[in-house]
Structure formats: structure tokens, C-alpha cells
Amino acid sequence: MKTFIRLLGFLRPYRRGVLWSLLLALGAMAMTVVIPLLTGKAVNAIAANDHGKQLHLLALGILGAGVIRLILSVGRRLIAGRVSLGIEFDLRDRLYGHLQKLELGFFEGQQTGQLMSRATVDLQAVRFFLGYGLVFVVQSALTIILSAIAMGILQPKLAAIALLPVPFVVLVARAYGRRSRPAIQEVQQRIAELTAEAEENISGVRVVKAFAAEERQLERFRHATTRVFEQSLVATRLQALFNPLIAFLPSMGLAAILLIGGRDVISGSLTVGAFVAFYAYLLMLIGPMRTLGIMLGMAQRATASGARIFEILDREPLLTSPDGAPGPPPGGGRIEFENVTLRYAGSTRPALDQVSLVIPAGRTVAIVGPSGSGKSTLAALVPRLYDPAEGSIRLDGADVKTLDIPLLRQQVAIVGDDPFLFSATVHSNIAYGRPDATREEVELAAEQAQASGFISSLPDGYDTMIGERGLTLSGGQRQRIAIARAIVADPRVLILDDATSSVDASTEKEIKLALATVMQGRTTLIVAHRLSTIALADEIAVLDSGKLIDHGSHEDLVDRSPLYRRIVEKGLPDTVFLNRKPVESEVTGL
């Protein structure tokens, strides 16, 4: 019930539309109630052989009531449709806006398909009920009430008999709601799982085909589909049992009225016209009662979907900016890590453990270490993609937790090993970090990123549409567009997270030329898995099991760090560092 009441809150901006819709529904129902009354009088006139003016007036009255009902119904549906679409817009806008506020860690624990299902399937269920179903419920209730009043006025005794099944209808409807709610909620959950499976299969289609795993993936999809089918059968069985039962109960009253009312007509205590009118009102009760059963199922589905939507909306962001937070202070990008400890949810071992490191402005530092040592995690703390459990990170003297997050991230650009490109033009992807960038700035950035050559060979140059996730381009091309994107953003801090790992040697050479350009005058953190990238660094930080175990120049670390020496021996020729001048390190907490 709490979820249902919260859902009704989305109607608040559309109070006027809902009110007009209800008023028009009330008017249409009034016309519906008038028609049987006029019909009964017309039957009496026919039975009395009255072919005069009265019969013509009654016929015109029935036609007029029908036309008015038509106009009011059309108006109600138009208004209800506008309300429904408005609710859908508001819900989708609020849900998507809230998702944008949630931290990266939230998405790492969620399946994309699950989130997509809540933003589509669940949202549609809520929209249809609030926009249409709720009005139908009110309209059905109004029909029952008005019909009951008219029947009571015409024949109180027959009305009591006809309305006798109504309490049983209410009891059956409550029982149906109680049993169907968990069943429908489970259907929604399994549909979300199916959506997640489909999304994953489509996103990973290259891997699927590379390993000829189509049949295996099809079997997984069939399993998810079967789970939806089986649970939907449970909900369908409940609906198949209760909806006909709800429709059957009024028929008991109908049979009783035919028997008792028919005898009264035969005995002459009830006119044929009155009986026809009363019988028409009784028939009007059956349709709304059936509709109530259907709408009750829709309400249960909307409530189940609403609960899933509210799970997202009620999830408070863990990373927020203080009210009125400023952007980073002026500076060249000096970064300070002080006693930083971070532990991921569900992990017993810290990803970072008491790391302290100072990176002067404009310096390039490579972060190396075994897989899982915390290299990418350390770099991700600078733009506040995560917050440490202990310690602090400062950018140009300001604690990043005290800064406005969007303004902070405008000063930090990340180029990863598999950069994400949007399904948009090359120009739009390069200008993504600064949409107001001019064409000249975009082209200059592409030239500096060694990307202008292949871009000019594309069918429409900078206006060429890139396929979803950039899969129409090679890995090296995507990397260079990502580097151009970083150049246009003009950050004071650049993070290269294994930015040359997925390309061949010749492409790597071109990318390194581009990186050398973008790194000039910027503080740069190089997360190095491919060790040749370390040659771009002024100094090197060595991590192991989340701890900073050493820091310095290549030559110094080869002499004093056994771990770094092993890393070098496995894949980094000393010759890449020949003729490099050692630089002084500024290190704390080693």
C-alpha cells in the first residue's frame, strides 16, 4: 500500500488533468445511466401503442445522450493520454537523472539489463496504470455507484437482490490482490533477468562468435525465457481463476432478477419498461466489475514495478558534493595522497593500504605493480570515482571531497585501455568533454593525437557516424580519438590507464607521439600494465597488494627494488631508459 500511495504522488503535477478526466468520466457515466432510463420509458410507450411525440422525444434523448457520452469519452481519453505521457516523461527523467547521480561503484554491482528493464518495462507498467488504469477504476466505481442508485430508486427490493454479490466480489478481489502481488513481482524480476541476458549476449557478440558459442548462449537465453514463462504461468493461473470468478458473481444477481423481476412483470406489479431499465442497469454493473478485476491486476503489476523503481530512487548517492562547493583552486595539478586506504564492498583485503604519495605539478608518474595491486584504483581516486575509507587526496592543496564533483572532473581526463565511444559523429566524440569546442579546435586536437589521417579517410570525415561503442573502428583508432578527446578537454591532470595495451607496435608508436603532446604541461599518471609505456614517465611508483613499496627513477628502482627488478626482467628492456636524466622524487610515507 505504501508503494501504491507513493506512485499516486506522481499524479501531483497533473492534478488539473486528472480532475478534468474524472469530471468528464462522471459526465459520460451520467449519460450512460440516463440511456437505460430513457430506454425503459420508450419501451413503456411502445407497449402502450404510443407512436406520437413522446416516443420521438425519447429516441432523440437517447441519441443525444449517446452523442454527449461520445464527446465526453473522447475528451477524457485525450486528457488521460496527456497525463499518462507526462507521468512517463517525469518518471523516466527522474529515474535517469538519479542514475546519473549514483557513484561508479553502484553500476559495478548492477547488470545493465536489470537497469534497462526498470527504465522500460517497469516504467511502462506504472505509466499505463496511473495514466489509464486509475481512471478506469474510478470510472468503474462511478458506474457501479450510479447504477446502484438508479436501481434503488426504480426498485429497492430488486436492487438489494442485485447488489447482494458485491461484497463477495470485494472479498475475492482482495484475495486475488494478496496472492497475485508476489507472483507478479517475481515476473517483473525474471523479465529483468531476461533483459540483462539479452543485453549481455548482444554486447558480447564478438566473443560469442569468436568462440562459436552461439548454441551455448542460446541455451542460456532459453533458460531465462523459460523462467519468465513458468512464472508468468503462475500469474496467469491466478488471473484465470479469479477474473472469471469476479465476472461470475454478478451473474448470480442477474439470474435472480430475471426470475423475480420476470414474475413481477407477469403479475403486473412491474411494467415492462421499468424491468428493461432495471435490467439494463444490472448489465451495466457486470462490465465494470470485470474491468475492476483487470484493473486490479494492472494495479498489482504497477505496484510491483513501482517497488523496483523505488529501489533505485531510494538509493542515496554515496559520493556527493558539499552544498556550494567550489571548483579546484588555481594550480598546475599537484596531487597528494595521504595515508589512503580503500576497501571494495565484499572484499576482506584492502585495495589500497595507507598509501602516501606526492606528485608535483607537471610531473609524469608511472604506477606499476602486479595485477590487483591497486594501480587503477589509486588513479581513480583523483577524479573521485571512489572515496577512500581513510586518508585524503588533495588537488593543488584542496581536498577533493570539498570540491564540486563536475568541476573537479572537468580538470581530470582519463584515457583507458578500451576507450568508450558513443554512437555519434567523430566530431561529437572528440568534443564530448567540451561540447562548445569549435571545429578548428577539434581538428587540431585530432592532428595532435595522430588521428587526423585516418579520420580524413572516413566516408564523411569528422561527420562520420561511429557505430555503437566505436566497434566500427580499430583499437588504435579508438585510442587516438580518446586522446583527442582528452586534448580538447584541456585538463590539468591526465590519467593514462594502460592506454597502449590493446594495439600493435607500430600503432603504439603513433599513440606515444600523441601522448607526448597531450602530456606537455600536465600532471600525468600512467597506469602501466604494458611496461614500455613507463618510458614516458619521469618517475615510477611501485605498488604491491595495495601498498606503495617504493618510488623513484627507473635506475634507482632497478638497484633497490626486487619487485621492480623482477617486473623489468619479465618484459622491460633497460635500453628504453637509456639517455634519460634521473629526476628527483618527492615522496612521503615510504
pLDDT of the residue at 114 = 79
- 173-200 pLDDT, tens digit per residue, is 778 777 877 887 788 788 888 887 887 7
The answer to the question of residue 395 being in a domain is no
The answer to the question of residue 174 being in a domain is yes
The answer to the question of residue 197 being in a domain is yes
Q: What is the mean pLDDT of the chain?
A: 82
The answer to the question of residue 572 being in a domain is no
Domain of residue 91, CATH code: 1.20.1560.10
Tell which of 281, 313, 345 closes a domain.
313
**Average of per-residue pLDDT across 235-256:** 78
Cα distance between the two ends of the chain = 58
Number of domains in the chain: 2
The answer to the question of residue 496 being in a domain is no
Residues 116 and 250 in one domain: yes
Most confident by average pLDDT, 254-258, 453-457, 514-518: 453-457
Most confident by average pLDDT, 195-204, 316-325, 503-512: 316-325
The answer to whether residues 540 and 356 touch, using CB atoms and an 8 Å cutoff, is: no
**Average of per-residue pLDDT across 9-38:** 86
**Average of per-residue pLDDT across 270-278:** 82
Domain of residue 483, CATH code: 3.40.50.300
Q: Higher model confidence: residue 62 or residue 50?
A: 62
Provide the β-strand partners of residue 547.
544
pLDDT of the residue at 502 = 57
pLDDT of the residue at 391 = 92
pLDDT of the residue at 394 = 95
Percent share of the chain, pLDDT over 70: 92
Tell which of 443, 471, 490 closes a domain.
490
pLDDT of the residue at 166 = 76
pLDDT of the residue at 279 = 80
The answer to whether residues 378 and 355 touch, using CB atoms and an 8 Å cutoff, is: yes
pLDDT of the residue at 579 = 40
Residues 298 and 433 in one domain: no
pLDDT at residue 246 greater than cutoff 90: no
- 80-119 pLDDT, tens digit per residue, is 888 888 888 888 888 888 988 888 888 877 777 778 888 8
- 285-298 pLDDT, tens digit per residue, is 777 777 776 777 77
**Average of per-residue pLDDT across 341-364:** 88
pLDDT at residue 498 greater than cutoff 90: no
Q: Which pairs from 293-296 meet CB under 8 Å and 24+ separation?
A: 293/173, 293/176, 293/242, 293/243, 293/246, 293/247, 294/243, 295/129, 295/133, 295/136, 295/137, 295/140, 296/173, 296/176, 296/177
Tell which of 458, 490, 522 closes a domain.
490
Q: Which domain holds residue 215?
A: 2-313
